[in-house]
Structure 1
Amino acid sequence: MGARAVRGAAALVGAAEFAGLAARLRARAQAGGAGGPRGALAYLTPTQVRVAAGEIRTGRSISLAAPVETRPSPDNPDPARHEMTAWHRPEAGASGHGLHFARDRFATNVHGDADTHLDALCHVVYDGTLHGGVPASTVTADGARELTVALARDGIIGRGVLLDLPRLRGVPWLEPGEQVTAGELAAAETAQGVRVREGDLLLVRLGHRRRRAELGPWDPAEGRTGLHPEAMEFVADRRVAVLGCDGNSDAAPSRTEDVAYPVHVLAVHALGVHLLDYLRLEDLAPVCAAEGRWSFFCVVAPLRLPHATGSPVNPIAVL
């Protein structure tokens, strides 16, 4: 998966250490008002949305989503399916006169490793519960009854902040298996002259998309860069409303004993933080660098899916 030596391979996080971290973060979320059904979205108030609108200076908008792919690849073996249901077919005797419609439909695996999507709070089941102690039995074959993506039906709108970790380390991307610590997130803030505040949408660039574009796709289960579990202390300290990444925030292979996706457990289950997975930040990062500012107005609009555990999204940054 690359010739450069892997850095940032942290020591194993033991089961007891992880359980203690999860308990601390859960208690902090409850104390801060994020223990309810909206989770950390409770930190994002209408006042903060109005203030975030002040981030707009040039009016330039940038998509933070990757194009939806319909061809299989190592990281996307079950891609979205696009089917045309009506089109112009002169060979079938269709007349060129009058009104005709082209029609199509899509089917997608929301929680894959390629397409950009939002994880709802019902997505992570841990020790028989969802966020806030909601029983896992509320998720059935018919869909979820609580903590669904419908909690974000009116959109997630606020101040976005981009922290660029390859820029901090002076590399084009972080290699699969590397992990980002809370200290590095704070160091990126300092280097970029920005501060993550309560209610922000924190977006972390790891370089996953650039590596994929230049070296080709790979199976992320074999190796993926992500955040170290203790980096969730930073997320809790700043009362982040939403966490997004150009991977899925979790490193692979996991260095946490008996937990394959520790960041998902800590972010979604303990802190009630919605996750944005597999963003495309390669268009945004150079604009932020050129303008010397790393905060912006951000809009995330999931589909109106009442019983779903997540949704495809096309987040938009407005600078």
Structure 2
Amino acid sequence: MSNPFPLYKNLPIRHDAPAGSCWGVFDKNGVRDVYGTLNFITPEILVAAKQEIQTGESVVLKYPISHEAPIERSQTFDCLHSLPLDQPSEPCPGRQPLKHTIHARAHGMFCADDEIHVNTQASSQWDGLLHYANQSREEYYNGVKYADAVESRTDQSLGIHAISERGGIAGRGILLDFVRYGERHGIKYDVFASYPITLEQISGMIAEENLDVRQGDILIVRTGLSRAIRASDPRIQGLWDRGAHIGVDPTPELIEWLWDRNLAAIASDAVAFECIPASDKSFMRLHEACLAGFGMSIGELFDLEALAAVAEKNNRWSFFLTVCPLNVQGGVATIANTMAIF
């Protein structure tokens, strides 16, 4: 069956849309789309993704709020972890760290309540479509204006609640393990530097893992940063001050590849998924292309160590994956709430 979606080279289809954007591709019956590339996950593709459940190993989010609490691991199930909500210990400048308060003897009884104040751009997270706009046009995906969505709050259509109301995200996930690939090919790199993972290397990982990339897949790239965070590498202090981060190199060819493979979403253990700065010294090109151009959510700072271990044990790099976002009206992002099942 031929692909019903336009190739990247034929975007945009709307004369008033920015170059390379898919604005209008998913609109139906005059209704402006708010789901972006999640439209690639059709009911038929979701049903087919259940074939990824073969060994019954559930990869769930079960880390504690505080890294000081004990971490219990099931002997039967392995985990695709979120980082604890207070990690990295230094949040990005301008963002507040986690605040967790326990209320003892709540309601005059021997019970407890707690309050959690968390910024959704800390720890493992999914960027929603209100996170990053087209900078020159001050517009989000499908032409939603920054002024309306953020400043006056008169248009909340792209809020994170839309994904929740859609039923969350469920489909086939694929893991590209750059740590393993680098070790096999003698590639030396620093997870605390601006190392660009190239499209050629991505293609190499796909070939070596014997993966076929399908419409609606959720692409996850492991860089090894979560391993360093988990190991309490002292270089995590000052992570943000360096302004240099490992990630996928957001070349025009890479961005074209993401769209033409009809991916539903992308994620990584890296700070921003994309390398900062990019190899050509550009900044946040992929965020603008994916979030504002495609309506493609970006997952960041996932802890992928256990997922990689399960994938390597089974020699299988695809799995069933679900995301249950926070249902916050007009919200910008969500803590991870992500689970994989092999």
Please give the TM-score of this superposition, normalised by the length of structure 1.
0.81
Say if 2:264 is the partner of 1:253.
Answer: no
Aligned to 2:36: 39
Q: Compute the displacement of 1:56 (Å).
A: 0.6
- Tell me, in whole angstroms, the C-alpha distance in 2 between the residues paired with 1:287 and 1:145: 39
Partner residue, 2:161: 150
Residue 145 (structure 2) aligned to one of 135, 138, 144: 135
Name the SS for the 1:159 alignment partner. strand
Provide the residue aligned with 2:114 in structure 1: 104
Letter in 2 for 1:249: F
- 1:8 is matched with none
Partner of 1:9: none
Contact 1:173/1:207 (8 A) holds in 2: no
Instruction: For residues 154-174 of structure 1, give each alpha carbon's deviation from its aligned partner in whole angstroms, at most 9, with x where no partner exists.
Output: 210000000111211216865
One-letter identity of the residue aligned with 1:79: P
| TM-score, scaled relative to structure 2 | 0.76
Q: Which residue of 2 aligns with 1:52?
A: 49
Change in CA separation of 1:148 and 1:74 when aligned onto 2, cut-off 3 Å: closer
Q: Secondary structure at the match of 1:235?
A: helix
Tell me the distance in 1 between the aligned counterparts of 2:87 and 2:206: 37
Residue from 283, 299, 306 that aligns with 1:276: 299
SS of corresponding position for 2:305: coil
- SS of residue matched to 1:139: helix
Q: CA RMSD in A?
A: 2.7
- Residue type at the aligned position of 2:197: V
**Alignment-derived partner of residue 13 in structure 2:** none
Distance 1:70 1:295 in 2: 27
Q: Secondary structure at the match of 2:84?
A: coil
Alignment of 1:115-134 (within 5 A): 115-126=123-134, 127=136, 128-134=138-144
Contact 1:43 1:198 (8 Å CA) reproduced:
yes
Distance 2:92 2:332 in 1: 21
Secondary structure at the counterpart of residue 42 of structure 1:
helix
User: Unpaired segments of 5 or more residues in structure 2?
Assistant: 1-16, 61-79
Aligned 8 A contact 1:166 1:172 in 2: no
- Residue deviations 1:106-155 (CA, integer Å, cap 9, x gap): 1111123xx11111112112221101122112223575612111121021
What CA distance in whole angstroms lies between the structure 2 residues aligned with 1:70 and 1:271? 29
- Give the superposition deviation at 1:260: 2.8
Give the secondary-structure state (helix, strand or coil) at the position aligned to 2:302: coil
> Mapping of 1:156-195 within 5 angstroms?
156-170=169-183, 174-175=190-191, 176-195=193-212
**Residues 174 and 207 in structure 1, CA contact (< 8 A), matched pair in contact too:** no
Most deviating of 150-159 and 69-78: 69-78
**For 2:303, what is the secondary structure of its paired residue?**
coil
Give the Å deviation of 1:254: 4.4
Matched with 1:203 is: 220
Q: Tell me the residue number matched to 1:67.
A: 84
Query: Structure 1's 166 and 139: CA in aligned 2 closer, same or farther, altered over 3 A?
Result: same
Whether the 8 Å CA contact 1:174–1:206 is kept in 2: the answer is no
CA drift of 1:52 comes to: 0.9
* Residue 25 in structure 1 maps to residue 46 in structure 2: no
Identical positions, percent:
24
* Matched length: 286
Of residues 217, 228, 238, the one that matches 2:249 is 228
Per the TM alignment, residue 232 of structure 1 is displaced from its structure 2 partner at its CA by: 2.0
Does 2:265 correspond to 1:263? no
Deviation at 1:211, TM superposition (A): 2.3
Q: Which residue is 2:74 aligned to?
A: none
